[in-house]
Amino acid sequence: MFKNKVISKISKYRFELSHITIFFAVLIVFQIAMVFVQKSTLNDFLSQTQDWYKRYSAERLAIVTSTSMELLFENLFLNRSVQQFDDTKIIYSFNVIFKQQLIQRTVKDIFLILLKNRRLYVIDSGQKLDLYLKGKLDPYNVNNNGPHHEAVNLFLSVKDHLRSSEVIYSTLENKNTFNILVPFVPDGEYMGVMYLKISPDFSFLTDEIKVNFDKVSLIYSALILFGLIAIFFVSSEAVKERNEAQKILYDEHAEHLKKQIKSEKESLFTKRIYHTHHKAEKIMGFIKEDVRKINTDNISEMKDRVITYSNFISRIIYDMKWFDQEINTIINPMFHTDINKVITFIVKYVFLRVSSKNDMFIFELNLDDSLPLVHVNEFIIWEVLEPIIQNSIDHGNKNQIKISISTKFVKEENLSYIIISDDGVGIVENLLTKDERGIKKIFLENESTKTNEGFNSGYGCFIAYQMAVTRCGWDLDAENLSPFGCRFTIKIKK
């Protein structure tokens, strides 16, 4: 159960090839950093261990040498006088101890510092020891800068401490050389110290450990790197396969969307044609009526009117041929349309020609003569204005409704305004709410205030919005007036 929840949680996230690449790069960087940190830690450990062991080994060597010298003293001179021994034997015995230590490359110097009758003697060979035992060795002159001057000064600085404690005393010189003073106590009698200068070197050992560590780190890092590369290639192949599948899916989805958009356009085209079909029938009726009324007095007026009607019918027929019209048939520099003239013609020769006009509605026009011409086909403007005016007539819900149409040009803003308002009951508030795209519902498809909604209701304002906003790039808005009525405002940028 828990496993399924984890898989479900992870499956919500998509990992691209770039994510995997960054992930592996971070792992490799962390591995390299970890190797350097481990090596630095190992170096610190080896350095501290080596420092400790250097002192320990130097002191142990000094103790062993001093013990050997003490045992020699005890075996040779305990209960026997010096005269009983051959001088050559004494010299040889002590030189063996000195030379055995000096042949080691780590021991730099070794000698005895003895105190006798408050005088100080330095013995660094069997010959001097023989002279010391016979009382013929000269005391050491501390004011003389001889080869053992520094060691003697070190002994003099700590002689009281050594005599009282009889423990090893050592100092470190140049981070690698130890000066060691070992109390010389043959047969339990303190006679002085044995001095050793030792420079122990264990770098060969630490270097070998470091080299082996580097080898292990290199092999370990190489194995991890090769493992990550293998995982990377496997993951990249998996991601590629997924991306290919996604691409196929996206292509199929795009194709489906194209078909859906085409279907929606065709559906809209069908509904738009159906919506304008009755208008064409009405205009054809006007043409027939005007043809019957032609005489010598009104032939010029009738001809212009019939031509305009005929052009509108031609536009409707063109719309029937193409559900996705070319933009240059809508907006084109060759068009110079007078909006005021289009409004006047629609009101006078379309809406006011119905027989019941006096009982149903009246018009009030307030047109600005300074309104500039627009580069839009005049019958597109007709398709925009006619549904809005018809909406006021159909949804006024009054016996007689007053429809006001005004135009205005604001030179400072370089904007033209077409304002269509009425004194009816207004628009249902629900239709003035906006969807997620910011479009009011009254301008959406299949939205209508008719109580007996039919299959093709709710397309008048939708078509007007599509033509004005989507095709012409104008602004179209609807609002209710206080205390009653509604207003449609078209804003045209020059």
- What CATH number is attached to the domain comprising 135? 3.30.450.20
pLDDT (mean) for 339-355: 85
pLDDT, one tens digit per residue, over 428-459 is 888 888 888 888 888 887 665 554 444 445 57
Percentage with pLDDT > 90 across the chain: 11
CATH code: domain of residue 333:
3.30.565.10
Estimate to the nearest angstrom the gap between the alpha carbon of 54 and the chain centroid: 53
Q: Which of 172, 201, 230 is the last residue of a domain?
A: 201
Alpha-carbon 405 to chain mean position: 56
**pLDDT value for 197:** 79
DSSP state of 187: G
Domain boundary residue, one of 170, 201, 232 = 201
Residue 129 has pLDDT above 80, yes or no: no
Structure tokens at 373: 């011409």
Burial tier of 470 (Cβ tally within 10 Å: 0-12, 13-18, 19+):
exposed
Q: What is the tens place of the pLDDT at every residue in 249-263? A: 888 888 888 887 777
Query: What is the domain count for the chain?
Result: 2
Rg of the chain (C-alpha set): 57
Q: Which domain holds residue 61?
A: 17-201
Considering the domain architecture, whether residues 61 and 194 belong to the same structural domain is answered as yes
Does residue 234 lie in a domain region?
no
Q: Residues 211-258: pLDDT tens digits?
A: 777 777 778 777 777 777 777 777 777 777 777 887 888 888 888 888
Q: Which residues contact 367 (CB under 8 A, 6 or more apart)?
A: 340, 343, 344, 405, 406, 407
pLDDT of residue 455: 41
Q: How far apart are CA 153 and CA 141, in angstroms?
A: 11
3-class state of residue 116 by DSSP = strand
Over residues 39-64, the mean pLDDT reads 70
Grouping H, G, I as helix, E, B as strand and the rest as coil, residue 409 is: strand
Place of tokens 């501390």: 142
pTM: 0.48
Per-residue model confidence (pLDDT) at position 16:
58
Domain end, chosen from 141, 173, 201, is at 201
Q: Which of 331, 286, 281, 333 is nearest to 308 (CA)?
A: 286
Residue pair 443/465 in contact (Cβ under 8 Å)? The answer is yes
Residues 87 and 292: their CA atoms lie apart, in Å, by 166
For residue 321, pLDDT over 50 is answered with yes
